[in-house]
Structure 1
């Protein structure tokens, strides 16, 4: 039990530090007379919307960084994942630390697009994945950089089934071949 006291105290100190930094930043914004472009949002709402922008793996990594006192790394991760600016990322991470959010599974946004036939391009796109001595290639005229990027993002975030479904939908390979290909991407 004594071995847990120090880590718990460190965690509490980090959370308190993030809360104080967030409140100080919020106070500076109020002192500026609301010079920001939009209306100020309550911290709980900011935390909720910030949490919704994260995949399950990103959510887990961000909160692990917060718990370990790596506030700057958490801000950089949030900034990289969402593409938001430094200040917005700092505020979002501060709100997430002050108002922890559970991960909420998000429904795929492109569900309506699933019913449509994939677009065929006038060229064949080649996607190659390898790990060690194993190399797999997918060549299709229904793939492009954007679609392949989404498939890679799904694979790296741990949503293997969605990545397999997207790959089989945009190529002429079987689900078994798609799983073999996706297994090479998920690192």
Structure 2
């Protein structure tokens, strides 16, 4: 009886090893859900959907953090206010930084959709001063059509390498020429 015990244990051990190997191979062939490529991960659609989940104060705070370069704090804020997971929050904040979105109040049912330009300049009751400098060169833009949110979007565009869009946005929200805006944006680029 003892003579059969050793070969039986070897057979059981080989069977377990074969089962584990088959299971590992089966897992490799099945694409994992979290590793599956997500279409449009940093797309404008994701940014619009992410912005729609925020109220006006949360939207302002999130873009202030993005403009200050505090990505981790922005992700944490988005995670807290929306209840999304860490990966979804990271993707949403990345999309919001890459594709800045204006705040849009929730639409009431039955209300007509306003197709008017959302980035149209509005005048604020104060003058906002934006200052950029590098070395001995300093430029200042003062306008009552700028605020933290708009300037943050302009800085984000400049830092993402879209200097022409940033300069155009700056001219729309101030009274400076496109040449002056390009000079200002050149100082913002890192």
Per the normalisation by structure 1, the TM-score is: 0.48
Per the normalisation by structure 2, the TM-score is: 0.47
Greater CA radius of gyration, 1 or 2? 2
Name the one with the larger helix percent.
1
